[in-house]
Structure 1
Amino acid sequence: MSGTIETDVCIIGAGPVGLFAVFECGMLKMRSVVVDALDAIGGQCIALYPEKPIYDIPAHPAISAASLIERLIAQAAPFRPDYRLGRRVETLAREADGRLRLGTSAGDVILARAVIIAAGAGAFGPNRPPLAGIEAFEGRSVFYAVQRREDFRGKRVVIAGGGDSAVDWAVSLAEVAASVAVVHRRPKFRAAPETVSRMEALAQAGRIEIVVPYQLAALHGEGGVLEAVEVATLKGETRRLPADVLLPFFGLSMELGPIATWGLGIDRNHIVVEPSTCATGVPGVFAIGDVATYPGKLKLILQGFSEAAMAAHAIYPIVHPDVALHFEYSTTKGIPAAA
């Protein structure tokens, strides 16, 4: 079939758990195609907090999200995964020979023996503030994530929001930005108390301005270049904050999208799976990582890694029905050649 990609396993989601699933499938001599709605490999680790340290990855007392993704990409590389980025899987059907046929928003057709959904909590995007003309500033002066802290050195930064992302980046960017103002509708913040205390200490030292109780009201500038952010109270009092950059941190809008229509068994936007195999209610389809749910589930990257291994072993007899799987440790068999 013209334009059709044939593989053993189609992995939906190129975050850390999806990347480790490539490795686990490769160790069992199964080829993988990886599809992700984002334009870059790494999922939320890269889109939301690439420079933030992660402390619960075994053997790494601390590792940045970006470094973790780099290492996972390198670990998967020997198995030559086919990355299909900037698109999402929209359709799922079963062929006469039992294979699963997946269609993407970019027109790709993928034929796979099995599917692993490792899509976090679904496709996601930022909750945009309702500001007139904000689209003209996005990508130049308005950003919904910080990719590199250094990009904001010497800039006048306005951060909007009261959660962990807003407070974390206020504290971090205070070290490099010319100024940092944090806009929140009320004095109480929803972030970790220790980080809030650090932000308040920086405010007392004059390195951060906490602007409460205000909300975003308007953007001022031309050609996508921001000059000031206008904020207002519920009583209509307004202020103009000089700004080169606005970082609105109002969380993410997450949805499973077309996956929710595949009859997998959905519970509050998560996919119910069998705990020992991560199998869904649809034969040949598995779910791992944050999107999967079962009794006792912990939303930790390390648990997602474990689920990737369980799913790969459960998929092996689907891909290799006539070959018995003899369990071996990686120290014994090494890295097998890519199929």
Structure 2
Amino acid sequence: MTDGTITTDVAIIGAGPTGLFAAFECAMLKIDCVLVDALADIGGQCAALYPEKPIYDIPAHPAIEGAALIESLARQIEPFNIPRMLGRRVETLKGHRGAFILGTDKGEVIHAKAVIIAAGAGAFGPNRPPLDGLEAYEDTGSVQYYVRRRADFEGKTLVIAGGGDSALDWALSLKELARKIYLVHRRDKFRAAPESLRQLDEAVERGEIEKVTPFQLKALHGESGALREVELVTLDGESRRLEADHLLAFFGLATDLGPVAQWGMDQIRSTIPVTPSTCETSLAGVFAIGDVATYPGKLKLILQGFSEGAMAAHAIHPIVHPDQALHFEYSTSKGVPNS
């Protein structure tokens, strides 16, 4: 970077797992790239929100925590010395395929021949329950929406609210640490992976988790931000109070594409449609991968984001090296190119 200007082949917006692997794939094809992320560290949601949450669908890893996955991906790209522009948000995109100009909120300018948007779900924040006095409990950590350190809940009584994978995953993960876990949902049925549902049934039968349905959150009770009880209510007006040290509320994330939404690409409900074979958006030379990308049959899995990163890198090769034919070789035969 010179005087706030960097020239590269590809600007990768988003340094989460998908962005990191896309950088590796670009490097393997001798395509220069730079990673840009609004967060101060690499890793995206895996590092910022779920560093200790086990992930079960990464090939060759029966289970791996989010932080460990990011560490491995960082080691994978380490030989290539890929520049990182962290703590910066890309605000503007101008130009065309082969000659884009991106501007950051810090005033820097990036010249790139192609762009990969790997921004996950965009800017994210929790969907917060509408409870009086909620902020005071958030300030003390009595109410949380992400689990960054499992050890913080050792010996504690937890009320976990939500009916999806996150609620079940954390209930199952924390049951051996916590003194007591209540799992609260407004319906008797949960929307989660079949294996998680099976494990939940077994944990309930063993008395490791108490399932509290069909209840919704009504109020929090405590003093000076220290939670003592969570009050619940049914649609019929039946109420119940649960002793609690912490409320973990998992009602999903509110997402926003931010400035990306103003760049002229087609959009569908905060996602960007792409051509499945290349991951190119409706704006030629701009590609989208990971959770932000959508197409028929799309699965929001990290492993699919990895595949999309590889496809985007191969589709970008003729933009960067128009005079070079790309003869695909397996990494086992070609090895890692010299950086």
TM-score, normalised relative to structure 2:
0.85
Q: Higher mean Cα deviation, 317-326 or 5-14?
A: 317-326
Q: Higher mean Cα deviation, 134-143 or 5-14?
A: 134-143
Q: Matches of 1:223 and 1:38 in 2, distance apart?
A: 31
Distance 1:198 1:30, change over 3 A: closer
Distance 1:58 1:173, change over 3 A: closer
Preserved contact between residue 98 and residue 319 of structure 2 (Cα < 8 Å): no
* Aligned partner of residue 112 in structure 2, secondary structure: strand
The structural deviation recorded for 1:321 is 4.2
The structural deviation recorded for 1:248 is 0.2
1:8 correspondence with 2:9: yes
Q: Matches of 1:243 and 1:108 in 2, distance apart?
A: 48
The structural deviation recorded for 1:87 is 4.4
Q: Matches of 1:308 and 1:170 in 2, distance apart?
A: 32
RMSD across aligned positions (CA): 2.9
How many residues align? The count is: 337
| Aligned counterpart, 1:100 | 100
Distance 1:82 1:200, change over 3 A: same
The structural deviation recorded for 1:279 is 1.9
Q: Higher mean Cα deviation, 248-257 or 202-211?
A: 202-211
| Aligned counterpart, 2:279 | 278
The structural deviation recorded for 1:72 is 1.0
Q: Matches of 2:146 and 2:179 in 1, distance apart?
A: 19
* Aligned partner of residue 116 in structure 1, secondary structure: strand
Identical residues among aligned pairs (%): 67
Q: Matches of 2:127 and 2:29 in 1, distance apart?
A: 40
The structural deviation recorded for 1:75 is 0.4
Aligned ranges 1:96-245 → 2 under 5 Å: 99-138=99-138, 140-245=141-246
Query: Aligned partner of 2:292: which letter?
Result: V
The gaps in structure 2 that reach 5 residues or longer are none
| Aligned counterpart, 1:75 | 76
Cα-to-partner distance string for 1:107-161 (whole Å, 9 max, x where unaligned):
4433322110112333322111112332333362222122232221111211111
The structural deviation recorded for 1:209 is 2.8
The structural deviation recorded for 1:52 is 4.3
Q: Higher mean Cα deviation, 289-298 or 65-74?
A: 289-298
* Aligned partner of residue 250 in structure 1, secondary structure: coil
Query: Aligned partner of 1:307: which letter?
Result: E
Q: Higher mean Cα deviation, 129-138 or 48-57?
A: 48-57
Distance 1:107 1:56, change over 3 A: same
Preserved contact between residue 50 and residue 66 of structure 1 (Cα < 8 Å): yes
* Aligned partner of residue 216 in structure 1, secondary structure: strand
Distance 1:300 1:183, change over 3 A: closer
Query: Aligned partner of 1:246: which letter?
Result: L
Q: Matches of 2:335 and 2:194 in 1, distance apart?
A: 46
* Aligned partner of residue 42 in structure 2, secondary structure: coil
The gaps in structure 1 that reach 5 residues or longer are none
Aligned ranges 1:260-279 → 2 under 5 Å: 260-279=261-280
Q: Matches of 2:134 and 2:313 in 1, distance apart?
A: 44
Cα-to-partner distance string for 1:26-74 (whole Å, 9 max, x where unaligned):
1223332222344442233334544444444333344333322221111
Preserved contact between residue 31 and residue 79 of structure 1 (Cα < 8 Å): no
Distance 1:89 1:135, change over 3 A: farther
Q: Higher mean Cα deviation, 74-83 or 60-69?
A: 60-69
Q: Matches of 1:326 and 1:182 in 2, distance apart?
A: 53
TM-score, normalised relative to structure 1:
0.85
| Aligned counterpart, 2:60 | 59
Preserved contact between residue 34 and residue 82 of structure 1 (Cα < 8 Å): yes
Query: Aligned partner of 1:145: which letter?
Result: Y
Preserved contact between residue 98 and residue 114 of structure 2 (Cα < 8 Å): no
Distance 1:84 1:215, change over 3 A: farther
The structural deviation recorded for 1:93 is 1.2
| Aligned counterpart, 1:307 | 308
The structural deviation recorded for 1:296 is 4.5
